[in-house]
Chain A
Amino acid sequence: MADAPTDEDKVLIRDFLDGHVHGVVVEDDEDLFASGLVNSLFAVQLVMWVERTYGLRASGEDLDFANFRSIDAIAGFVARKKALVGGDA
């Protein structure tokens, strides 16, 4: 499936997230906002990171916390954005 998260994406996301949670172990489905590990700016930072890393364009509509609530959610968001531009962005 073109919009399925890949293991490679999850590794990249974990690397990015490590810079924000300082070594705290985070489960793939853990709610990052509920646990207080990240704040609202994280969403913007993550979108900027997705743009840089994958060469994608993000819009204001992408700033939905549902896209960033967990590692699984972020991976799904990345996969959907990549699929929109034809897979390997």
Chain B
Amino acid sequence: MIVEPSPEQLALRREIIAFARTELGRDAAGADREARFPREDWRRCADFGVLGWPVPEEYGGRGFDPLTTVMALEALGYACPDNGLVFAVDNHLWGCVIYLLLHGTEEQKRRFLPGLCDGTLVGAHALSEPEAGSDVLGMTTTAERDGDGYRLTGTKCFISNGPVADVFVTLARTGTATDPGRQDRLSAFLVTADLPGVIKKRELPKMGLRTTPMGVVEFDGTPVPAANLLGREGTGYPVFSSTIEWERSFMFASKVGAMERLLETCVRHANTRRQFGRTLGSHQAVSHPIADMKIRLDLAKLLLYRVGWLKREGRIALQEATMAKIFISEGLVDTARAAVELHGARGYLEEYGIERELRDALGGPIYAGANAVQRGILAELIGVRGALSGGEPR
């Protein structure tokens, strides 16, 4: 399967690049230094339609199909110099909006999607807990039946967009907890930040993607109406597992764009910087890493577009999404590290922004499912009996 962008998709790409270059990240370095969420840029993204790209027009979105959506995000990642802003958009779309699109009731879609598309609501995915990161089934947050609704109690941490979020998609344990590992004891909920007992406890400073605020959110007996249940009670894990392939792949579309931006930056530098009487690029020690960047970029695109195509066809793509997540996240780290080395002192200095690209890239192999776990999942999907399925025969 080979996917080439259509003329319409190429025109869209040009439109997005022009928008992002002129409207976004004007003070990306300053915002990064201060770890400041760029609220004005968020508004510009909303006005341009970014926050509703995959959402049908009837709910206030642009109605892009999945393949067009990944191409649009790739263009955004390519042209927007603020990777943290793009990461905030990604968390909004693939940690929150997608759950509504796939599992929301008609009423939930009409209640939340217009605000999520027009930027008045910021979405987040409140999944991880202090003692349950990759081990989703080990989470301890509870949702106890309380009249017509539920009462949520627990702490969620490492929540991207958490400090500024208005809507959280979260998972909690419903029913009795006699067997904490039981997959049908989890349920998915929409929790709005204005509900009693939702406490945004603290922001978590981090190495990269600093313009995406990250924090801890506590649910202290939060009353959640039954109308905010996503899917049926007890279907939280299937809801999560059928949605996670979108997060694992679509969230990395923008990283492919960043890989291309870094490649172009390195080509320019290699052709203009002179040492020993000739351009840097004439040294194989410089040109070969750039060639490797191009190989990684093209392979990353192929993996990404394949997932976009599969999702456009309504197909399951967990295996393909897992491969894309691993390859793109690690490919971007390799490309960013090579870019720092290629730029020498300029790569290491803050003022050129190359070091920021590396700091922003380093989180990719960790978030949206640590790559070590992803490799385990991929191995099991292709038949290896590993730790996730109990390992040794009983």
B61 → A minimal CB distance (Å):
19
CB closest chain-A residue, reference B319: A48
Interface string of A23-54 (1 = CB under 8 A from B): 11000000001101011111111011000000
Which residues in A have their C-beta under 8 angstroms from that of B287? none
Question: When the two chains form the complex, which single residue of A22, A39, A43, A65 contacts B394, counting CB atoms closer than 8 Å?
Answer: A22
**CA of A63 to CA of B319, assembled, Å:** 14
**B275 in the interface (beta carbon within 8 A):** no
Which residues in B have their C-beta under 8 angstroms from that of A44? 241, 316, 318-319, 381
Which residues in B have their C-beta under 8 angstroms from that of A24? 394
Residues of B within 8 A of A (CB): 102, 137, 181-184, 235, 237-238, 241-243, 245, 313-316, 318-319, 377, 380-381, 383, 388-390, 393-394
Given the known interface contacts A33-B182, A43-B238, A43-B241, the answer about A63 and B388 at a Cβ–Cβ threshold of 8 Å is: no
Which residues in A have their C-beta under 8 angstroms from that of B235? 64-65
Contact A60 B393, beta carbon cutoff 8 Å: no
Interface size on A, residues (CB 8 A): 28
B174 → A minimal CB distance (Å):
15
Taking A44-B318, A45-B381, A47-B316 as given, write out 18 further A-B residue pairs in contact, using a Cβ cutoff of 8 Å, ordered by the A residue number.
Answer: A22-B393, A22-B394, A23-B393, A24-B394, A39-B388, A39-B389, A39-B390, A40-B137, A40-B183, A41-B377, A41-B381, A44-B316, A57-B313, A57-B314, A58-B315, A60-B245, A64-B238, A65-B235
CB closest chain-B residue, reference A20: B389
CB closest chain-B residue, reference A49: B383
Given the known interface contacts A40-B237, A63-B242, A64-B238, the answer about A33 and B184 at a Cβ–Cβ threshold of 8 Å is: yes
Q: Across chains A and B, which 9 residue pairs bring their CB atoms closest together, nearest first?
A: A22-B393, A63-B242, A60-B242, A59-B314, A44-B318, A39-B389, A41-B380, A58-B316, A40-B183
CB closest chain-B residue, reference A34: B182
B177 → A minimal CB distance (Å):
15
Contact B238 A45, beta carbon cutoff 8 Å: no
**CA of A66 to CA of B375, assembled, Å:** 27
CB closest chain-A residue, reference B376: A41
Which residues in B have their C-beta under 8 angstroms from that of A20? 389
Interface centre among B182, B245, B394 (most CB of A within 10 A): B394
**CA of A60 to CA of B381, assembled, Å:** 16
A44 → B minimal CB distance (Å):
5
**CA of A87 to CA of B215, assembled, Å:** 52
* 13 A–B contacts, CB within 8 A, in A order: A19-B383, A34-B182, A40-B137, A40-B238, A40-B241, A41-B381, A41-B388, A45-B380, A45-B381, A47-B316, A59-B314, A63-B316, A64-B235
Contact A33 B183, beta carbon cutoff 8 Å: yes
Which residues in B have their C-beta under 8 angstroms from that of A59? 314-316
Which residues in B have their C-beta under 8 angstroms from that of A62? 316
CB closest chain-B residue, reference A39: B389
A2 → B minimal CB distance (Å):
22
Given the known interface contacts A33-B182, A60-B102, the answer about A48 and B316 at a Cβ–Cβ threshold of 8 Å is: yes
**CA of A40 to CA of B240, assembled, Å:** 11
